[in-house]
Amino acid sequence: NTSPHVPYIKQCLSLAEKSPPRPTNFRVGAVLLSRKDNDPTFTDDRILSTGYTMELAGNTHAEQCCFANYAAVHKVPDDQVGEVLPVEPGRKLVMYVTMEPCGKRLSGNAPCVQRITRTTEGGREGIHKVYFGVKEPGTFVGESEGCRMLTQAGIEWEHVGGLEKEILTVAFAGHENAEEEVKAALGKKETNVDDV
Ligand SMILES: Nc1nc(=O)c(N)c(NC[C@H](O)[C@H](O)[C@H](O)COP(=O)(O)O)[nH]1
Ligand SMILES: [Zn+2]
């Protein structure tokens, strides 16, 4: 009996597989949805948007594209997406991502945790919780800060286990020694899983 979150992580993985392989980032997929409170089998979930790494022009992240796609549909600039996300009593906004949202980016572009946090500005609930399939491997930024930063912003997060190998294999596909990096990240992940 797999957790009800697994199908959503699998949907994110299918999105991540559309991402052009690059050695300079990870291939990640994201899904944004609205979930009814006390709906344990998620029967009343509403998918609001999806995104994958480099789906949109430039050096874009999956979560960034997910928000940008939603903003475009609602005809607002990306940085105003928080203003057009639905605010519905009895429902929460939830994001699924194959990988922990980034707290820092080597490019210096706004990290996805900041984009997620900004949805809670202006007294809006914004994103309530983030589910992800793996913590960010140390390849680019060393010890990942995403989870800690989400907690600091009062946003809940949860690691959904079981698909780490598949997620990392897709994420690292564009890297020089992808296989070794996946093995290393899986090995390391064992020690990380305790402090996720
Ligand atoms: N959660 C997440 N979604 C993504 O779509 C993606 N590509 C990353 N990747 C995290 C990694 O830390 C950054 O890709 C590097 O730090 C390079 O930074 P840029 O991507 O060039 O800004 N992480
Ligand atoms: Zn990011």
Contact by Cβ (8 Å): 104, 111 = yes
User: Ligand 1, residues 52, 61, 63: which to mutate, most atoms within 8 A of Cβ?
Assistant: 61
Q: Report the distance separating Cα 176 and Cα 51, nearest Å.
A: 25
Give residues with Cβ within 8 angstroms of 24, minimum separation 6. Answer: 59, 106, 174
Q: d(Cα 102, Cα 111) in Å, to the nearest integer?
A: 5
pLDDT tens-digit series, residues 116-166:
999 999 889 999 999 999 999 999 999 999 999 999 999 999 999 999 999
pTM of the predicted structure, to 2 decimals: 0.95
Task: Find the 144 Cα to ligand 1 centroid distance in Å.
Answer: 11
The CA distance from 130 to 100, in Å, is 9
pLDDT of res. 191 = 46
ipTM: 0.98
The answer to whether 135 touches 100, Cβ cutoff 8 Å, is: yes
Q: Is 113 in the pocket of ligand 1 (CB under 6 A)?
A: no
